[in-house]
Amino acid sequence: MFGFFKTAKPRRIQFESDGQAHQTIEVSDKETILSAALRQGIPFPHSCRVGGCATCKCQLREGKVKELTESAYVLSEQELDQGYILACQSVPRTDLTIRLEQAQVPGPSPGAQTLCGRVTDQRRLTHDISALRLRLEQPLRYAAGQYALLSVPGIVDEARSYSFATPSTRSGRSDVEFFIRQVPGGAMSGWAQGATPGTPISLQGPFGDFYLREGQQPILCIAGGSGLAPLKALLEDALQQHNSRPVVLLFGARTQADLYCLEELAHLQQHWAGDFTFVPVLSEEPSSSPWGGQRGLVTDVLAQHTRPNAQAYLCGPPAMVDAAEAQLQALGVPAEQIFSDKFLDKSSLVHSA
Ligand SMILES: Cc1cc2nc3c(=O)[nH]c(=O)nc-3n(C[C@H](O)[C@H](O)[C@H](O)COP(=O)(O)OP(=O)(O)OC[C@H]3O[C@@H](n4cnc5c(N)ncnc54)[C@H](O)[C@@H]3O)c2cc1C
Ligand code: FES
């Protein structure tokens, strides 16, 4: 037996809170803390997985990690001094002890599963967004608005986040759809634009806390590009529940060619039990076109459609979400009534030396 092929010994991570040990997991070579935790059924809080949102921050009490990206970008100076790291960007170099906030303490998984499935359909919605339909080996329960991690074994092995575009049902759903925008140079989104039926897919989820909150307040939805996916699912789900809260849906796109699902949105509007206002807003429609709708950015029309008692749901490009969130707060919508998912990708990574 040759001795020079060494298999790296798995590291151990102990999670603790309030000085009490909770759970210990093993991490394989090159695996991040977050991936290892999710793989072992721990519902570790996270969102973007690319170091851009800080949802996965946790305090390193003992041990050493290699950081894949510059966490100073999203963590405050004080947090860095206190040893906070991003679980999605940290690969253990030694055994670790990680302190979690009480709210992060691993408990029973709220239903995240890993399922196999196959592509059943792929169709173009616009020149850069495709709908990818999958059939899962068994029904999955999720809340409309949540997302899943998708990977294509042997083709795109590293999982990417995509929001369900279809609402769930009480017993779960095995026929699920995602809207995938082609990111320039993107591995998964490039593959998805030409995905062939029958291709095996792996799905892990559901994840995320982007779902419709209870209440009677008006619902304000702001979608940009493929950010329509979770909002369409969330509103279709609410329609099934006979929700009658007033709705305003602002849909930002570049030109008329970038608008899609208009029939589905018209159906929603027609069957909604209360007021339902749908406003497409185009930022780059040629001035010579006969388009008679709104022009500009969604933030340009926000003031006329926002009531301070609104509950707001924002989804799409990070710049749009940040701008709309700031404007909503300036218009008097409390931060606790604003919910958002930013569609971050790896291009936002700032690498560590
Ligand atoms: C919670 C959540 C939900 C989402 N839901 C959706 C959805 O429903 N629909 C949707 O279209 N998108 C969604 N997204 C965004 C989606 O996850 C990304 O667009 C996706 O990961 C891109 O994957 P890709 O393989 O196509 O691109 P990647 O191959 O990951 O590359 C993305 C970009 O980063 C660049 N890049 C690659 N590696 C690096 C690196 N190491 N350093 C710097 N740059 C790099 C690439 O050139 C490319 O421009 C969601 C994101 C989040 C966080
Ligand atoms: S999940 Fe780690 S920074 Fe967003």
182 CA distance to ligand 1 centroid (A)? 9
- Ligand nearest to C-alpha 85: 2
Is the shortest distance between the CB of 346 and ligand 1 below 6 Å?
Answer: yes
Secondary structure (DSSP) of 218-240: PEEEEEEGGGHHHHHHHHHHHHH
147-152: strand order across its sheet: 156-163, 147-152, 200-207, 113-124, 129-140, 173-181
Q: Is 90 exposed, middle or buried (0-12, 13-18, 19+ CB in 10 A)?
A: buried
Atom of ligand 2 nearest to the CA of 49: 1
Task: List the one residue out of 177, 83, 171, 167 whose CA is nearest residue 123.
Answer: 177
Atom of ligand 1 nearest to the CA of 47: 1
3-state DSSP: the chain helix, strand, coil percent, rounded to 5? 25, 35, 40
When the pLDDT of each residue in the chain is averaged and rounded to a whole number, the result is 90
Is the shortest distance between the CB of 340 and ligand 2 below 6 Å?
Answer: no
Is the shortest distance between the CB of 189 and ligand 1 below 6 Å?
Answer: yes
Paired tokens of 344: 């971050």
* Burial state string for 281-301 with b = 16 or more CB within 10 A and e = fewer than 16: bbbebeeeeeeeebeebbbeb
Q: Where are the beta strands (DSSP E) in the chain?
A: 11-17, 20-27, 57-62, 65-67, 84-86, 90-92, 96-99, 113-124, 129-140, 147-152, 156-163, 173-181, 200-207, 219-224, 247-253, 276-282, 294-295, 311-316, 338-342
Atom of ligand 1 nearest to the CA of 156: 25
48 CA distance to ligand 2 centroid (A)? 5
Number of C-alpha atoms within 13 angstroms, CB side, residue 106? 23
72 CA distance to ligand 1 centroid (A)? 21
Atom of ligand 1 nearest to the CA of 147: 3
188 CA distance to ligand 1 centroid (A)? 8
Q: Which helix (H) or strand (E) holds 323?
A: helix 318-330
Atom 3 of ligand 2, residue of closest alpha carbon: 51
The predicted pLDDT at position 134 comes to 98
**Do you find a cis peptide bond into 108, omega within 30 degrees of 0?**
no
Is the shortest distance between the CB of 342 and ligand 2 below 6 Å?
Answer: no
The predicted pLDDT at position 30 comes to 84
**Per residue of the chain (353 residues), what is the pLDDT tens digit?**
444 445 567 899 998 877 777 788 999 878 999 989 888 877 788 888 888 888 899 999 999 999 988 777 789 889 999 999 999 999 999 999 998 775 554 443 456 788 999 999 999 999 999 999 999 999 999 999 999 999 999 999 988 999 999 998 888 999 999 999 999 999 999 999 999 999 999 998 888 889 999 999 999 999 999 999 999 999 999 999 999 999 999 999 999 999 999 999 999 999 999 999 999 999 999 999 999 999 999 999 999 999 989 999 999 999 999 999 999 999 999 999 999 999 998 887 655 54
**Residue 63 and residue 60: Cα distance in Å, rounded?**
7
- Ligand nearest to C-alpha 52: 2
Atom of ligand 2 nearest to the CA of 54: 3
The predicted pLDDT at position 16 comes to 86
Q: How far is CA 61 from CA 12, 163, 248, 341, in A?
A: 14, 34, 46, 30
160 CA distance to ligand 1 centroid (A)? 7
Query: Global pTM?
Result: 0.87
Atom 6 of ligand 1, residue of closest alpha carbon: 162
Check if the beta carbon of residue 15 is closer than 8 Å to that of residue 60: no
Substitution site in 44, 84, 86, 346 for ligand 2 pocket (most atoms within 8 Å of beta carbon) = 86
**Residue 139 and residue 141: Cα distance in Å, rounded?**
7
Is the shortest distance between the CB of 184 and ligand 1 below 6 Å?
Answer: yes
Is the shortest distance between the CB of 46 and ligand 2 below 6 Å?
Answer: yes
Length of the chain measured in residues: 353
Domains recognised in the chain with CATH numbers: 11-104 (3.10.20.30), 113-207 (2.40.30.10), 219-347 (3.40.50.80)
The predicted pLDDT at position 51 comes to 87
